[in-house]
Amino acid sequence: GENVEQHPSTLSVQEGDSAVIKCTYSDSASNYFPWYKQELGKGPQLIIDIRSNVGEKKDQRIAVTLNKTAKHFSLHITETQPEDSAVYFCAAGQNFVFGPGTRLSVLP
Amino acid sequence: SAVISQKPSRDICQRGTSLTIQCQVDSQVTMMFWYRQQPGQSLTLIATANQGSEATYESGFVIDKFPISRPNLTFSTLTVSNMSPEDSSIYLCSVVWGGGNTEAFFGQGTRLTVV
């Protein structure tokens, strides 16, 4: 089955800086890669996703890149704001196997 | 986007008892899933709720412990049976609308504490 790793587990950045979170997956058949943001006491919120037929997707300050050959995909957040502070999860595979999560703290 | 409602939002239960969690969607969906999120951990898929038939369970989860119903395309329940403190977790309902879409959306979760 699918195995998803995620790094780093925690990330602190200054407001306005960029943040990058990387995930690797094991199943070369996986073709859909979402990213979720989870705030305290809430369910995960889908923030961006990418399919295997594209290498990059951008939505305002958020972008995701995919390298199918290397089997990794990354979340990029630019111009970070305090409200970006949350736990971020990647997922892959038909049954949405989740990575262990990254706790992002944006320091004002 | 459609609304996913979970009830209860939280509960404190005595060990040995059972709790049924409801997931209601305000439009028909293709797929419904149940996840467990232990404190400070990631999400683990418990099972896929199949409409009109038995749920499909992931390794490590069994029907006797986590019976699931899905009587129609907008509603599902997860029961946590014979609870122990180790069952204390957040339980999350997730849906996929289908029609070519693969995005999965989550409810707010049910925070369960077993004492």
Q: What is the pLDDT of residues A7-46, one digit of tens each?
A: 999 999 999 999 999 999 999 999 999 999 999 999 999 9
Write the pLDDT tens digit of every residue in B77-93: 999 999 999 999 999 99
Residue A60 burial by Cβ neighbours in a 10 Å radius (0-12, 13-18, 19+): exposed
Q: Which residue of A has its CA nearest to B38?
A: A100
pLDDT at residue A59 is higher than 90: yes
| Contact residues, chain A, for B92 at CB < 8 Å | 43-44
pLDDT reported for residue B52? 86
Residue pair B8/B111 in contact by the 8 Å Cβ criterion: no
Write the pLDDT tens digit of every residue in B86-113: 999 999 999 998 766 688 999 999 999 9
Q: How many CB atoms lie within 10 A of CB A39?
A: 12
Residue pair A19/A77 in contact by the 8 Å Cβ criterion: yes
Residue pair A23/A6 in contact by the 8 Å Cβ criterion: yes
Q: Over chain A, what is the mean pLDDT? A: 95
- Chain A residues in contact with chain B using a Cβ-Cβ cutoff of 8 Å: 32, 34, 36, 41-46, 49, 89, 95-101
User: What distance in Å separates the CA atoms of residue B49 and residue B94, rounded to the nearest whole number?
Assistant: 10
Range 70-109 of B in CB contact (< 8 A) with A: 92, 94, 102-109
pLDDT at residue B41 is higher than 90: yes
The model's confidence at residue B1, banded by pLDDT at 50, 70 and 90, is low
pLDDT at residue A2 is higher than 90: no
pLDDT reported for residue B99? 64
Write the pLDDT tens digit of every residue in B45-77: 999 999 988 999 999 999 999 999 999 999 999
User: What distance in Å separates the CA atoms of residue B79 and residue B10, rounded to the nearest whole number?
Assistant: 14
A and B: number of Cβ contacts within 8 A: 39
B58 touches chain A (CB under 8 A): yes
Write the pLDDT tens digit of every residue in A91-108: 998 788 999 999 999 999
Which among B42, B107, B111 has CB closest to A98?
Answer: B42
pLDDT reported for residue A1? 81
Give the CA distances from residue A78 to residues A23, A95, B49, in Å, rounded to whole numbers and listed in that order: 18, 30, 38
Mean pLDDT of A72-87: 98
Residue A98 to residue B107, Cβ atoms within 8 A: no
Which among B45, B105, B108 has CB closest to A95?
Answer: B45
| Contact residues, chain B, for A96 at CB < 8 Å | 33, 45, 94, 104
pLDDT reported for residue A94? 79
User: What distance in Å separates the CA atoms of residue B90 and residue A100, rounded to the nearest whole number?
Assistant: 15
Residue A42 to residue B41, Cβ atoms within 8 A: no
| Contact residues, chain A, for B42 at CB < 8 Å | 89, 98-101
